[in-house]
Amino acid sequence: MSTLGDVRKKPGGFTLIELLVVIAIIAVLIALLLPAVQAAREAARRAQCVNNLKQIALAAQNYHDVNNSYPMGIIQMIASGFWNTSNSCFVSMLPYMEQGATCAAYNTNLANAHPGNTTIAGVGISTLWCPSDGVVNQSQVVTYATDPYSTPNVQIQFTSYHGIQGAWPTYAWPLPGNGYDYDGAKSTANGMIGYFSSVNVAGVTDGTSNTMIFGEAAHSLLSATDRPKWHRWNEGFMGQTLISTFYPVNPQRTLSNFSGLIGAGTVFLTSASSLHPGGANFAFVDGSVRFIKDTINTWPRVASTGAPAGVYLVTVWTYKEYPDYGFKGRGVYQCLSTRNGGEVISSDQY
């Protein structure tokens, strides 16, 4: 027989207000923790990017040890009566990047746009992909067209990393014997990897720790329409696997005007860029990798164009600096990209 003393009260549940308070506290904690998680992830991605650049710089040094020069940035050859842009510096370095099979599949007697060489265009090399560059590992199917070839349905892979051509860009047009100033373009080239370059370590008179050799250019920052056209890992060309320091790091962040000296479309394509906050990673000839901030000192530029003040094209792709017309000297950023400028740079300047 039960009594009133045996009756126990049931515990009460949460009230609606208490439940809302708990949810609000959890939401605040998530909001506080999310930036820290994102920062940790970016730190990991940036560390992997640094490691990629170290591997690429080491491959370039191994290439130099065998060939007594660093790889060319643009190689051109005559095939079927046409000048054709050929392989990039990365194609040349394949044996030193644990890509022997890919190297064996490339025919150096044919231009890279020849149907016999288009198969390697679709080879994805993870060392060439910055983890922060989200879509760089997504291949595209294109029609590969370079006179006199047009090959449909070619699979293309891309790169986040590019050879440093120096303080200004040189394209593929000044070919030997075609009327352009080939000798002038060659004589004013001041970077490590460029048009028909053949630089060895003895030519790096500014010091291997003060001379860039590779840097980032983010594929994901291109529009969906432009991505199939640019940053193709196997092509030696400005906008494909070569950049310069003509414009600042991340010009899309720092320049309000994009007309430039050589056309609006070339400003971003010829410049270093990344999806890392505040700057981009660069490999130096000595194998070190350093993060260069967007705020690094750069040469004075013309506000209306974004181009450096007092720097002019003398002939096709041959530049000259004119103090009488506003040239005030190269910035630290440009000095780091040149191999033989004679500048004295200390690490506290960047």
Can you tell me which residue has the tokens 């700057």?
279
What is the four-CA torsion angle of 26, 29, 31, 37, rounded to 10 degrees? -120
pTM across the whole model: 0.85
> Interior CA angle at 176 toward 171 and 179, to 5°?
85
Q: Tell me the pLDDT of the chain averaged across its residues.
A: 84
- Alpha helix (H) residue ranges in the chain: 16-67, 89-92, 100-104, 182-187, 251-254, 264-269, 332-337
* Amino acid at the residue 339: R
Residue 168 above 90 pLDDT?
no
Q: How far apart are CA 330 and CA 350, in angstroms?
A: 14
Query: pLDDT of 204-235, one tens digit each?
Result: 999 999 999 999 999 999 888 889 989 999 98
Take residue 272 and report the two structure tokens written for it. Answer: 């270093």
Q: What is the DSSP letter of 105?
A: T
Query: pLDDT of 129-161, one tens digit each?
Result: 999 999 999 999 988 877 677 788 889 999 999
- 87 phi, psi to nearest 5 deg: -70, 155
Query: pLDDT of 171-192, one tens digit each?
Result: 655 455 555 566 766 777 899 9
For the chain, what are the domain ranges? 43-349
Q: What is the DSSP letter of 145?
A: E
- Alpha carbons within 13 A on the beta-carbon side of 26: 6
Q: How far apart are CA 231 and CA 226, in angstroms?
A: 10
